[in-house]
């Protein structure tokens, strides 16, 4: 239960904190774009079983691979893709924390 709260808290609260701290004038827009990073969980549809509470997403699902993570980090650098990249990196950090807590 606590692990689930931490996991989803990170998915939703970390982008909010980043939006409020670094994108004050457009925090709602920044938050929504970063929350859209949740869409990378669509790669869970390719797994069998689709949901396994004991499986670490990092390195297992294609959009959670090392190559993809490196791409997300690079997306965070240019101003035009920064919010998307930050949302994806925050998502990966949340999933990695979840793996670490398992």
Distant-in-sequence, close-in-space partners of 10: CB < 8 Å, separation ≥ 6 = 90, 93, 94, 97
Answer for the pair 74, 68: CB distance below 8 angstroms, yes or no: no
Q: What is the pLDDT of residues 9-49, one digit of tens each?
A: 889 999 999 999 999 999 999 999 999 999 999 999 999 88
Q: Which residues contact 18 (CB under 8 A, 6 or more apart)?
A: 30, 34, 86, 90
User: Could you tell me the pTM of the whole model?
Assistant: 0.92
Inter-residue contact 6 to 101 (CB < 8 Å): yes
Q: Rounded distance, CA 72 to CA 82, Å?
A: 9
pLDDT in tens, 41-75: 999 999 988 888 889 999 999 999 999 999 999 99
């Amino acid at each position: 239960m606590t692990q689930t709260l931490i996991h989803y808290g990170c998915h939703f609260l970390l982008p909010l904190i980043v939006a409020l701290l670094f994108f004050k004038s457009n925090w709602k827009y920044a938050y929504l774009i970063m929350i859209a990073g949740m869409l990378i969980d669509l790669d869970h549809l390719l797994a069998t079983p689709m949901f396994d509470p004991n499986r670490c997403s990092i390195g297992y699902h294609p959009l959670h691979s090392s190559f993809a993570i490196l791409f997300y980090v690079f997306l965070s650098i240019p101003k035009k893709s920064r919010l998307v990249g930050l949302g994806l990196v925050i998502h990966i950090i949340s999933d990695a924390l979840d793996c670490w807590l398992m």
